[in-house]
């Protein structure tokens, strides 16, 4: 009889995924969905053949140094791996995989929802209704900004950035983008997108900024206090990527002082903590990191995790192996 690998899952996953994992592996599940403490993660690393973490599990070099000899695969449930020291894992002979591609459309949908909602003051309208403050239609009541014809600057033109651009183009926005490299000519032509090699120059000219790049050491505080100062007073910032990409304190100060018009944030620099000053601002729409939160997306993520584990257990290279040099 072949011994099944011990797979430790750090959070509650969709029932269908957990059931399949139990069928294929010796899966140890987290039924109550309580995040593991560093001590519990260290213990899991010591005994597991495969660890299935999520973005709430910070696997730094210190923690990975406690991994046992059995651990050979970290099959991350998610696309971003900024919470895992991939290089440290590699140096210990541990492969790291992720789940790219399956959350593109869901995240782009949420990004577009924020792009539409913040300039049109959707939350303020809802709040006034719930508070019983609405006295009827008025020619000057809750005036927002028109979306059609505005310039959208996308930071990060990968899968999600391009999906956002497709949606935004249909709403009549003019597409601009900053990326490490230009996208292919056919993609650029289809999206009618304008490339900016200089992020500073793009920021100074846009009506709406959408952050869609991954969080890496190179993108930490990419939107720094200095760069945020380049934005025009009527500009809006939307972030569905990672909170660490924006200097949140600087952004908050600018919103309070009216230096920019508003923001739509699905992610925060110190999650799950949210700057209390942001919570009190009317020109901000805040969401609890739910950009990818669809039933279909979570199941697709789980299926990718299973494929990566099964492929590895069968002696092959997992299809979604993360290469440190590509981060």
Q: Contact, 99 vs 304, CB < 8 A?
A: yes
Taking the C-alpha atoms of residue 148 and residue 125, their distance in angstroms, rounded to an integer, is 20
Residue 263 is encoded by which pair of tokens?
A: 């923001």
Say what angle helices 159-170 and 104-117 make with each other, to 10 degrees.
40
The C-alpha torsion from 269 through 272 and 278 to 283, rounded to 10°, is: 90
How many H helices and E strands in the chain? 13, 12
Closest CA to 4 of 27, 29, 20, 26: 26
Q: Contact, 283 vs 47, CB < 8 A?
A: no
Is position 192 annotated as part of the catalytic site? no
Residue 143 is encoded by which pair of tokens?
A: 């005036």
Is position 40 annotated as part of the catalytic site? no
Q: Out of 176, 178, 227, 242, which one is annotated catalytic?
A: 242
> Where on the phi/psi map is residue 149: left (φ > 0), alpha (ψ -120 to 50), or beta?
left
- Cis previous bond, 269, omega within 30: no
The position carrying tokens 């593991």 is 36
Q: Which residues, including other chains, have CB under 8 Å from residue 176's CB and lie 6 or more apart?
A: 151, 152, 153, 154, 193, 194, 195, 196, 202, 205, 206
Q: Encode 266-285 in three state secondary structure.
A: CCCCECCECCHHHHCCCCEE
Taking the C-alpha atoms of residue 116 and residue 152, their distance in angstroms, rounded to an integer, is 12
Q: Out of 20, 221, 253, 289, which one is annotated catalytic?
A: 289
**Helix/strand/coil for 50:** strand
Q: Out of 18, 124, 271, 303, which one is annotated catalytic?
A: 271
Is position 242 annotated as part of the catalytic site? yes
Q: Which residues are catalytic?
A: 242, 271, 289
């Amino acid at each position: 009889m072949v011994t099944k690998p011990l797979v430790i899952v750090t959070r509650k996953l969709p029932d269908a995924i957990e059931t399949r994992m139990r069928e294929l592996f010796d899966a140890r599940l987290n039924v109550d969905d309580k995040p593991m403490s560093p001590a519990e993660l260290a213990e899991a690393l010591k005994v597991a053949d495969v660890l299935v973490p999520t973005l709430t599990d910070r696997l730094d070099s210190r923690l990975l140094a406690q991994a046992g000899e059995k651990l050979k695969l970290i099959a991350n449930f998610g696309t971003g791996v900024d919470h895992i020291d991939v290089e440290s894992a590699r140096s210990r002979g541990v492969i790291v995989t992720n789940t790219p591609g399956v959350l593109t459309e869901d995240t782009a949908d949420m990004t577009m929802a924020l792009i539409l909602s913040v300039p049109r003051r959707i939350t303020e309208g809802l709040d006034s209704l719930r508070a019983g403050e609405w006295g009827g239609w008025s020619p000057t009541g809750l005036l927002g900004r028109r979306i059609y014809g505005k310039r959208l600057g996308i930071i990060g033109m990968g899968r999600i950035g391009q999906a956002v651009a497709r949606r935004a183009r249909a709403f009549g926005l003019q597409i601009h983008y900053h990326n490490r490299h230009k996208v292919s000519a056919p993609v650029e032509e289809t999206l009618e997108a304008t490339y900016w090699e200089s992020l500073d120059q793009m920021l100074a000219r846009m009506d709406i900024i959408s952050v869609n790049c991954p969080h890496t050491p190179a993108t930490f505080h990419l939107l720094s206090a200095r760069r945020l100062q380049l934005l025009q007073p009527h500009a809006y910032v939307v972030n569905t990527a990672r909170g660490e990409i924006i200097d949140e304190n600087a952004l908050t100060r600018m919103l309070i002082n009216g230096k920019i018009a508003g923001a739509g944030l699905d992610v925060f620099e110190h999650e799950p903590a949210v700057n209390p000053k942001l919570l009190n601002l009317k020109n901000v729409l805040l969401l609890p990191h739910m950009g990818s939160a669809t039933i279909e997306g979570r199941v697709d993520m789980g299926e990718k995790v299973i494929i990566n584990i099964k492929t590895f257990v069968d002696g092959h290279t997992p299809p979604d192996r993360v290469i440190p040099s590509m981060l």
